């Protein structure tokens, strides 16, 4: 049994397949497993809370894990150790979520492309057909993650408190969420996964895209992301398309295309959930 795993900070999808790509179980979903944010004990707790995973753990021969927070060595090694401790018979490979996005969005295995993630967090890399290249190391949601779910959640809350929202939008936002200052601060500073908490607010943005305020908010974030991340690859962009993975990108395609026209880069494919493409990749590879 092969487990293919696609994890953000918010949620984590597990698909069990055989060597021919036949799905063996219903898709399993757990909370997100971001080893850059969560401690070892919490990672163990999330995985062990899944009865389905614990039932089949001794049947698993290979785990291909792609996740947020796995782009630097120490978090990647931590999660690898956790997985090996629970799935004793499995070979474990842990890679950053950008590689999942690459394998899910490129048209051919050796296609060169700039590949972006816009989900709970955000990132951008260049794939030359064989290897990933990054010009900027991610410093996480506090300092980076432009145009991500947590970025837009933060912007919405700031605009609400600074009275920058149109009145109708402000009333609707206040009706949908608990925006008491103490409650927000408790979730940001006392609870785990503050980035995922912030990203929850992005749903409001997606549901209210007919508002000119929301459209401009989206494009403002995309412009920041493009200037800070995509345009790091100015030479590569002369020939390479820019592919996007993640829910924020998927639901904001129109705004991304508008910004791409402004800044003169070519938009390629959009993939909301990379995991289906990963199944094809790994079963064909095996």
Sorted by where each begins, the domain ranges of the chain are 2-100+274-285
Q: Minimal CA–CA distance to 68: which of 205, 173, 195?
A: 195
Looking at residues 102-131, what average pLDDT do you find?
92
Label the pairing between strands 242-245 and 91-96.
unpaired
**Tens-place pLDDT, residues 134-182:** 999 888 889 999 999 999 999 999 999 999 999 999 999 999 999 999 9
pLDDT score at 285: 53
**10: CB partners within 8 A, 6+ apart:** 31, 32, 119, 120, 149, 193, 196, 199, 200
pLDDT score at 2: 96
Give the Cα separation of 139 and 144 in Å (integer).
Answer: 6
**129: CB partners within 8 A, 6+ apart:** 109, 110, 111, 112
**Tens-place pLDDT, residues 52-94:** 999 999 999 999 999 988 988 999 999 999 999 999 999 999 9
Looking at residues 108-124, what average pLDDT do you find?
92
Q: What is the CATH number of domain 2-100+274-285?
A: 3.30.420.40
Give the Cα separation of 167 and 67 in Å (integer).
Answer: 39
**Tens-place pLDDT, residues 184-234:** 999 999 998 899 999 999 999 999 999 999 999 999 999 999 999 999 999
DSSP, res 60:
-
**Tens-place pLDDT, residues 22-43:** 999 999 999 999 999 999 999 9
- Decide if 252 contacts 219 (C-beta within 8 A): no
Categorize the per-residue pLDDT at 20 as very low, low, confident or very high, splitting at 50, 70 and 90.
confident
Q: Report the mean per-residue pLDDT for the chain.
A: 94
User: In Å, what is the CA distance from 94 to each residue of 47, 62, 130?
Assistant: 15, 11, 17
> Is the confidence at residue 254, as pLDDT, over 70?
yes
Query: Which pairs count as long-range contacts for 102-105, CB under 8 Å and 24+ apart, including other chains?
Result: 102/127, 102/132, 102/243, 103/274, 103/277, 103/278, 103/281, 104/245, 104/271, 104/274, 104/275, 104/276, 104/277, 104/278, 104/281, 105/243, 105/244, 105/245, 105/268, 105/269, 105/270, 105/271, 105/274, 105/277
């Amino acid at each position: 049994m092969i487990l293919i795993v696609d994890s953000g900070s918010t949620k984590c999808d597990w698909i069990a397949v055989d060597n021919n790509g036949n799905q063996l179980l219903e898709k399993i979903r757990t909370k997100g497993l971001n080893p850059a944010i969560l401690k070892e004990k919490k990672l163990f707790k999330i995985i062990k809370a899944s009865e389905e995973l614990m039932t089949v753990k001794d049947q698993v021969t290979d785990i291909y894990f792609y996740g947020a927070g796995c782009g630097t060595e120490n978090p990647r090694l931590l999660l690898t150790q956790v997985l090996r401790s629970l799935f004793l018979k499995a070979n474990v490979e842990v890679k950053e979520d950008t590689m999942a996005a690459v394998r899910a969005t490129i048209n051919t295995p050796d296609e060169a492309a700039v590949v972006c993630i816009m989900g709970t967090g955000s990132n951008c890399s260049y794939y030359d057909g064989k290897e990933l290249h990054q010009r900027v190391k991610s410093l996480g949601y506090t300092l980076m993650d432009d145009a991500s779910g947590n970025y837009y959640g933060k912007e919405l809350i700031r605009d609400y408190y600074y009275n920058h929202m149109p009145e109708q939008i402000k009333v609707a936002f206040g009706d949908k969420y608990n925006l008491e200052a103490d409650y927000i601060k408790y979730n940001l500073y006392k609870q785990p996964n503050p980035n995922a908490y912030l990203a929850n607010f992005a749903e409001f943005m997606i549901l209210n895209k007919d508002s000119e305020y929301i459209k401009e908010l989206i494009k403002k974030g995309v412009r920041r992301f493009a200037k800070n991340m995509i345009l790091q690859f100015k030479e590569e962009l002369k020939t390479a398309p820019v592919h996007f993975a993640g829910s924020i990108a998927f639901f904001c395609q129109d705004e991304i295309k508008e910004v791409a026209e402004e800044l003169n880069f070519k938009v390629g494919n959009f993939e909301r959930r990379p995991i289906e493409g990963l199944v094809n990749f790994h079963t064909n590879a095996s």
